[in-house]
Structures are given as structure tokens and as C-alpha cells.
Amino acid sequence: MRFRTILGKAGDFRADVFFQFIFPRLADMEMPLTVDGFLTGPTSTCASTLPVHQIIKTYSQEVVGSTIELTGHSVLTEPAFWTPNLPMLYAMKCRIMSSTREVASLHKTIGLRRLGIRNHSLWLDGHRFVIRGITCGKVDSASFEQRILTAKEQNTTEIIDLPSDGFFTCREPSKLERHLQRSDESGRPTIIRVHPETRPSAMPDILCKLANHPSVFITVIPPSLLTVLEKFSTLKGTMLVAKEFSSEITLPKLPNGVDIAIIQITGPKPDASWKIPPSHPTIAWNKEMPSQRQECDRFQAVLANRRTSSGGPPSSWDWAGFLVGN
């Protein structure tokens, strides 16, 4: 079953939350199906809360070929949104019913995140959010745990490489899945880089799984999977999608479905086209600098100095984030 949470209209006093379930239709299923469940919370490791219980009711149902798309809906009053400083989470429990028979059940922990773009910047919960991240590599690498500890201690965004087989190698959650669950609970933002050899058919499930983690702010898509992204970009929800570019080429136009350009700064003099501010957010990445928080600050200072030097970009150029490490 493919599951995703959809944040609808969301204000400080009310939020519409939708839950979409996509699964194959079986011959013995009696139609229509219904959703029966509760949304409970919020809870947080950083604050004491008074949980509420809201009913989840059937919102819509659509049969597409041999697949059923069933959507539930709940309304939260005075919703608590997920931020790194206050990572609020809700527990979702649902049963899918066919007449009086239970077809499936699901229990998920979710976070409601108001993340988006305004002009050249990222905005989180009504405030500008500047990404500062360090590379942590693959979850099965020998140095992963130490790099994660460093990122946690330095309050820095983690950059993690997704393995080519995606999230799951069996029915049990992978090491990466468990790690992202802990990031959701502790409020650690994450950037995920999708492996270039990922099967295109796996992308819908990968996008849904990543988007269901409020800690995953950005997913970086390789060029080999951009055509697949165009078809399934609606699955990303409020998660942002990025593509990597080199600063040695002309300022790029973002492909359909991509929100952010991540620019690999490899030399002192980028292509001349980089003197004109782009219309979309750009994040700078220096892979030659060590994976340390203070290097993000040093990298930011270097780029700021470029704006005051002869031949540099104009003062109106504004980076949306700074990444270091390889």
C-alpha cells in the first residue's frame, strides 16, 4: 500500500489534513470502501502538550484500472506544525473497511510542515529558513554514525545519500527509515540525494516515503530520473525537490517539477551568466570544504565577499543555503 499525508489549507487556527491510500483492488472487495480512524496529538520531545483526538472520515474514492485511491480527511483546530525547534508529531490510526470487513489497517506518525518558496528563499512556518548542511554519506558507510553525531551536535542539516535499492530491502524498515524517524522526533532537517541507478518504477514509492517524513526538507533528483519526476511530482507534498548544477555552465532553467538549483561551486570564477540573480532559490555547495558547521559559515562569508568584488554577482544575489563536504 502506498500512503501519503496531504496538508490542505493550513492556518494558525485550522488545518485540513488528507490521507491518501493507494492499493490494488481485490476481487472479493465490496465497494464502496470507507476510512475509519483517528488523528491524535501533538506530541514532541521538546515540549509538553495536551493531545487531542480528531476523527478521520472518508473524503473520496476513485478506481483507476485495478488500483483504488481512497482518501480520508480530518480537521485540526489550533494545529501544531513541525519545525526543527519544535518538532510536533501526530499519530494516525486508520482502518479501511469493505462493508463490515476490515481490508487493511495503518498506523503512522506524521508531522505537518509548512515549507515552501518565496522568491529566492525557502520559508518554513512563515519565516525565512537558510539551509546549512554537511555531508553524512550513505547509511551503511563506516563513517555515517560519526558524521550524523557531528551534524546533530552542530545543529546542522544532514545530507544523506539514498542507496540504489531505495528504502526497503525486506518487510522491515531499513536503517535509513529508522534514522529518519529519529530525525522527525528530534527536529533534524535532512537533504536526501537519490541514487542515479535507482529504478524509475521505484520513484513513486520513494517520493511518498520521503514526503511522509517532516524532517526531509529537500530531495535531490539525478538527471536520469527527471522524466519520471514530471509524472509523479504531485507525490512530494510540501517536500522540495532540487537538481545539482555546476557553476561552470550557464545559469540553468529548472526542469518541470524541480523547485531549487543546488550549485556546485568548484572554482573562483563561475560562468558569466551567474552575475544575474535567478528567479528561483539557489543553494551553494562546496565539496572541497570539510563536513563541518563552521565551514558553512566560512563558505557563506566567501560568497558574500564575491558580491563586493569586481566582476562578482550583484548585491541582490541571495543564496538560499550553504552546503559543504563530499
pLDDT of residue 274: 67
pLDDT of residue 57: 96
- For the stretch 3-19, pLDDT in tens is 999 999 999 999 999 99
Mean pLDDT for 268-277 is 65
pLDDT for 171 beyond 50: no
Give the DSSP letter string of 252-282.
PPPPTT--EEEEE--SSS--GGGGS--SS-E
pLDDT for 268 beyond 60: no
pLDDT of residue 230: 83
Mean pLDDT for 45-62 is 91
Per the model's pLDDT, the better-predicted residue between 309 and 143 turns out to be 143
Burial of 172 (0-12, 13-18, 19+ CB in 10 A): exposed
pLDDT of residue 10: 96
Span 2-110 CATH architecture: Sandwich (2.60)
pLDDT for 72 beyond 70: yes
Identical fold for domains 2-110 and 115-324, yes or no, is no
pLDDT of residue 258: 94
Span 115-324 CATH architecture: Alpha-Beta Barrel (3.20)
pLDDT for 170 beyond 50: no
Cα gap 82→111, rounded to integer Å: 6
pLDDT for 253 beyond 90: no
pTM reported for the whole predicted model? 0.92
> Is the Cβ–Cβ distance between 57 and 4 less than 8 Å?
no
Average of per-residue pLDDT values in the chain: 88
pLDDT for 262 beyond 70: yes
pLDDT of residue 134: 92
Mean pLDDT for 40-44 is 95
Domain spans of the chain, in order of start = 2-110, 115-324
Q: Which helix H or strand E contains 148, and what residues bound it?
A: helix 144-153
Please choose, from the candidates 303, 244, 295, the residue with its C-alpha nearest in 3D space to the C-alpha of residue 269: 303
| 202 residue type, one letter | A
Q: What are the cell numbers at 61? A: 474514492
Mean pLDDT for 239-244 is 96
pLDDT of residue 169: 47
Least confident of 60-64, 127-131, 249-253, 310-314: 310-314
| 242 residue type, one letter | A
pLDDT of residue 137: 81
